[in-house]
């Protein structure tokens, strides 16, 4: 039985469907967002004016922040000391953050202090 000869090329109709994500920019919203960011920048710039008059470089280190708020552990440190100097003055003191009882007229407060008078914060408790 002879074999049938197939044509060398066949065309088969085909239909394909696909989805394509199309982004549309809304320039009015883009411009409004940019204007809001620039306004925020202009409002924040005056906060940094004169920082060079402080006399030394400062940071947002937790140790410097604690000194700025007169933490009892850092009372003996120099007011103009940098973080490294304050840590040398304090030495190897152990500290803990939590509920500090005893010296507050209003009630307990959260702060860093001696671990012997500091306990874990209680749930659903409002601190002074």
| Model confidence pLDDT, tens digit, residues 42-85 | 999 988 888 778 777 778 888 888 888 877 778 778 777 788 88
From 75, 64, 127, 69, select the one nearest 98 (Cα to Cα).
Answer: 127
3-class SS of residue 109: strand
Which residues, in sequence order, are CB contacts of 59 under 8 Å at separation 6+? 83
Per-residue pLDDT for 37 more than 90? Answer: yes
Residue 40 lies in a domain: no
Residue 13 lies in a domain: no
Distance CA 107, CA 98 (A): 14
Residue 20 lies in a domain: no
Token pair listed for 124 = 């659903």
Distance CA 114, CA 42 (A): 43
Number of domains, the chain: 1
How high is the pLDDT of residue 102? 64
């Amino acid at each position: 039985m002879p074999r049938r000869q197939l044509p060398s090329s066949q065309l088969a109709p085909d239909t394909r469907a696909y989805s394509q994500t199309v982004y549309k920019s809304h320039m009015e919203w883009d411009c409004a967002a940019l204007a809001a960011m620039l306004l925020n920048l202009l409002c924040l710039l005056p906060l940094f004016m004169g920082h060079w008059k402080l006399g030394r470089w400062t940071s947002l280190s937790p140790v410097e922040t604690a000194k700025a708020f007169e933490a009892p552990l850092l009372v003996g440190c120099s007011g103009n000391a940098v973080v490294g100097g304050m840590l040398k003055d304090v030495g190897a003191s152990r500290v803990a953050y939590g509920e500090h009882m005893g010296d507050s007229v209003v009630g307990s407060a959260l702060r860093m202090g001696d671990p012997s008078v500091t306990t874990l914060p209680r749930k659903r408790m409002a601190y002074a």
